[in-house]
Amino acid sequence: MEHSLKRKQLVAWQTFVTAHAVVIDLIEQELASAKQLPLSSYDVLLALVNAPHRRLRMHELAQAVVLSRSGLTRLVDRLAQEGLLARDRSGPDRRATYAVLTLKGFRAFRRAWPIYAQGILKHFVQHLTEQEMSTLSQMLGRVVVAAHESSAATSREP
């Protein structure tokens, strides 16, 4: 694998990283101004809302959100203290700890959604055509699949 980047490749990478950081920061500010959940908390609750029975093992939750294990543990502890989720060991695998969405967490998620959705529309969607969004989804989907495959291969190595 070649280790040098062409200018266009580096520009594409820098634009992607910068766009992500800027849009996330704007949405974070809008959520804070509306006195809603921080985006990292919202993302944890979103993963649980979409999970079967609104519960995930901690390692599944870590894969669903982009946080380090220690960062996720601290966030889950805080969300549990606030009553937005609960920790549970009564699932099918009693050795595993599950994060379970509470009714209070679901309500907080629903209150934050309009601000989050508006931020996505305002800072992302309105700047792209339908075709561009489709193309972008396909392109980044390939990157995600390749990253997961690479991660799985690395974890299998001795």
| Distance separating alpha carbons of residues 78 and 73, to the nearest angstrom | 9
Q: Which residues contact 126 (CB under 8 A, 6 or more apart)?
A: none
Q: Which residue has the tokens 């979409």?
A: 50
- Residue 2: predicted pLDDT: 65
Contact 125, 61 (CB under 8 A): no
pLDDT at 156: 64
Which helix (H) or strand (E) segment is 86 a member of? strand 85-88
In a domain, residue 34? The reply is yes
Q: What is the pLDDT of residue 96?
A: 84
Residue 129: inside a domain, yes or no? no
CA dist 116 and 157 (Å) reads 40
The pair of three-digit structure tokens given for residue 105, joined into one six-digit string: 């967490």
Query: What separation, in Å, do the N-terminal and C-terminal C-alpha atoms of the chain show?
Result: 22
Q: What pLDDT is stored for residue 89 in this prediction?
A: 84
- The predicted structure's pLDDT at residue 33: 97
pLDDT tens, residue by residue, 139-151: 999 998 998 888 7
Does residue 22 fall inside a structural domain?
no
Residue 105 domain flag:
yes
The reply to whether 98 falls in a domain is yes
| Residue 56 belongs to some domain of the structure | yes
In order of 50, 69, 147, 149, 153, the CA distances from 158 in angstroms are 34, 22, 19, 16, 10
pTM, whole model, 2 decimals? Answer: 0.82
What CATH number is associated with residue 53? 1.10.10.10
- Does some domain include residue 62? yes
Under-70 pLDDT residues of the chain:
1-2, 91-93, 154-158
Q: How is residue 98 annotated by DSSP?
A: E
User: Domain total for the chain?
Assistant: 1
> Is 90 in contact with 111 (CB distance < 8 Å)?
no
Q: Which domain holds residue 82?
A: 27-113
